[in-house]
Amino acid sequence: MSSNKTGQSLPVMEAFYTIQGEGFHSGRAAYFIRLGGCDVGCQWCDVKESWDAEKHPVRSIDSIVNEATQYPSRFVVITGGEPAMYDLVPLTRLLKDKGFEIAIETSGVYQLSGIVDWICVSPKKFKSVLPEMLSMAHELKVIINHTSDYQFAEQFLRGVPTDCKLYLQAEYSKFDHHIPGMIDYVKTNPMWKISLQTHKIINVP
């Protein structure tokens, strides 16, 4: 069995220190670990280069975590790609040993492993979300790429906890087109909030 199957090493597209730009933790200093590999296949994905795991270097979890500790924040975001494809128990245990608060961004199509403090589930139309992942979500973030996506978003409300934070986020290339409708929708349906990709506004990774 290869080490990335056991979680001792993982394909890393990129890892960097920045400001979280989206959702509940927007504005926080965060170390991002973007894992390679995804089979969800969103046509509007802005990191399609992450899809093929074999194109990215496999790194030991020790090197990943050691690099993360070089920065002052102890908030880490594991993203992708689709990070839940992998066994994250060893990585998250090591991060916890170093005092990190851990968030993950996932489509919810795989069962999550590891120790995670904040689960952001962002459902996609191309693969079904696992009900158990919805039930664990601290944050539900639905991308608005078409007017039908509002109805798509509403179907998940029964599956998430009552205290789950609910966000709608415009697909960035169509931001100007969708934002007026999103404003009207949230004013009518105030359980939702608008998530802005502020990292793109302030020009950070």
Q: Where are the domains of the chain?
A: 3-201
**Main-chain dihedrals φ then ψ at residue 167, nearest 5 degrees:** -130, 140
Q: Tokens 């689960």, residue? A: 119
Q: What is the pLDDT of residue 77?
A: 98
Q: Residue 48: pLDDT above 90? A: no
Q: What is the pLDDT of residue 95?
A: 98
Longest dimension (CA), the chain: 52
Q: What is the pLDDT of residue 1?
A: 34
| 8-34 average pLDDT score | 97
What H or E segment, with its residue span, contains residue 16? strand 9-19
pLDDT classification of 3: cutoffs 50, 70, 90: low
Q: What's 197's DSSP letter?
A: -
Q: What is the pLDDT of residue 41?
A: 79
DSSP letters for 112-134: --S--SEEEE--BTTBPPPHHHH
Give me the sheet containing 193-194, strands edge to edge: 58-60, 9-19, 29-35, 75-79, 101-106, 118-121, 139-144, 165-170, 193-194
For 131-158, write each residue's pLDDT tens digit.
999 999 999 999 999 999 999 999 999 9
* Dist. CA 161–CA 140, nearest whole Å: 10
Q: What is the pLDDT of residue 47?
A: 81
Is 80 buried (19+), middle (13-18) or exposed (0-12) by CB count in 10 A? buried
- CA triple 112-102-190, angle to 5 deg: 85
For 34-47, write each residue's pLDDT tens digit.
999 998 877 767 78
Buried b (16+ CB within 10 A) or exposed e, 35-69: bbbbebebeebeeeebbebeebeebebeebbebbe
| 88-114 average pLDDT score | 98
CATH number of the domain located at residue range(s) 3-201 in this protein? 3.20.20.70
Going from the C-alpha of 72 to that of each of 18, 31, 64, 187, the distances in angstroms are: 11, 9, 15, 38
Q: Residue 176: pLDDT above 90? A: yes
Ordered alpha helix ranges (H), 101-190? 131-136, 149-154, 175-188
Please tell me the number of Cα atoms within 13 Å of 10 on its side-chain side. 32
